[in-house]
Structure 1
């Protein structure tokens, strides 16, 4: 077996790696089509030439014990950003609450590698969290919310984000075990939901992740 190559595409602007150079590796994680034609997907080098299912299985094995939930009340464009960020930080699952259909463009195909769940409403989401021992953490500018910068997030938790504009629904905020807010210093009342999700997920990483496991 030889190393894969070439490491870069010869066409300017292309990303990824070209066809495998030499004898193909053995094992069911490898994708014959990618080995033959090259891999231009937006994946880390460790997953080059892997089948999509094999990547998803490995991510599930390495996943952190936090989930992310976002309410889908009006085809919110931020949902794709939240999904992509959850993939980057190794979330164990993402829950779309409310409408089943959502704008996947911002996810940049990362939803194919994640454990995605649809919850018809807050009651089903709360039931999932209770059944799986996940503390419910509401992220919003709510009365009594503690500063994210001054608290440690629970290790096993469900991070809850509302729709852009209205924020979290009353049913979810009432069920939350903890509410956190992000310190702000400008004139706007709140930051974008996709941005807020990235900030809070990274706070979880700082609190609990083993950075030796990062790529």
Structure 2
């Protein structure tokens, strides 16, 4: 890992009023803000206002919880969790596909909560030639230090976009020519499906799979043949198997 990457990772947890306010005003992508519940003084109100302006997830918590989260012991009632890397825009993904002269290939993740899974999927996305990864804003892990480390450098090359509503984003992408396939045990075998053309591969949550609303937006449901005694694959492994079937069919 490069020295520069280590610096970015160390800056993930930002504590103290001035430091947090400066993070917002400098445009640093802040995923979550933890604020002492009931604190109403001016500087904290300003920070909360900035958080709302940047659509940051706000959590009002007890002093005990802030003390647990704090690395310095000097949080002054506010702790921010910033992304390890800058998020990209979906337009960056289309631009990358166009630059390569390829049909768009995006991987969409429905509430992946394990940072190791997200990092592994970003790594696979890069190696499989996907043009980007799309994750939802809520109930999902963001670009944390663990994600950056697990991606083994892929985060430097693979765009990751964060969206408010995954189902709505899929509708917008459909209007631009993409079709969607999601991974689910009840689907048709991936080996019998045509996975070519502009495609979005949707991978669900580690425990519950793809949510109903997102599944309804998918054009097809693909299953991975299982020959063993257990009935499911880890989310990142499932993403890898399906991504490489897409690679095989494209090739």
Greater helix fraction, Structure 1 or Structure 2 = 2
* Separation in 2, partners of 1:132, 1:82: 24
Residue number among 128, 132, 142 corresponding to 1:101 in the alignment: 142
Residue number among 153, 156, 162 corresponding to 1:118 in the alignment: 162
Structure 1: give runs of 5+ residues left out of the alignment. 1-55, 210-215
State the partner residue of 1:175. 217
Structure 2 residue 129 is the aligned partner of structure 1 residue 90: yes
Maintained 8 Å contact 1:75/1:101: no
State the partner residue of 2:237. 195
Maintained 8 Å contact 1:138/1:173: yes
State the partner residue of 2:181. 137
* Separation in 1, partners of 2:112, 2:240: 20
Deviation at 1:89, TM superposition (A): 1.3
Structure 2: give runs of 5+ residues left out of the alignment. 1-92
Q: How many residues align?
A: 152
State the partner residue of 2:118. 79
Deviation at 1:74, TM superposition (A): 2.8
1:43-95 deviation line (CA, Å, top 9, x unaligned): xxxxxxxxxxxxx9x96522552111112353442111111011011112211
TM-score, length-scaled by structure 1:
0.64
1:103-122 deviation line (CA, Å, top 9, x unaligned): 33311121121222112222
State the partner residue of 1:66. 105
* Separation in 2, partners of 1:59, 1:132: 15
Aligned residues: CA RMSD: 2.4
- Aligned counterparts, 1:18-97, within 5 A: 61-62=99-100, 65-97=104-136
Maintained 8 Å contact 1:93/1:114: yes
Deviation at 1:126, TM superposition (A): 1.4
Greater strand fraction, Structure 1 or Structure 2 = 2
1:5-26 deviation line (CA, Å, top 9, x unaligned): xxxxxxxxxxxxxxxxxxxxxx
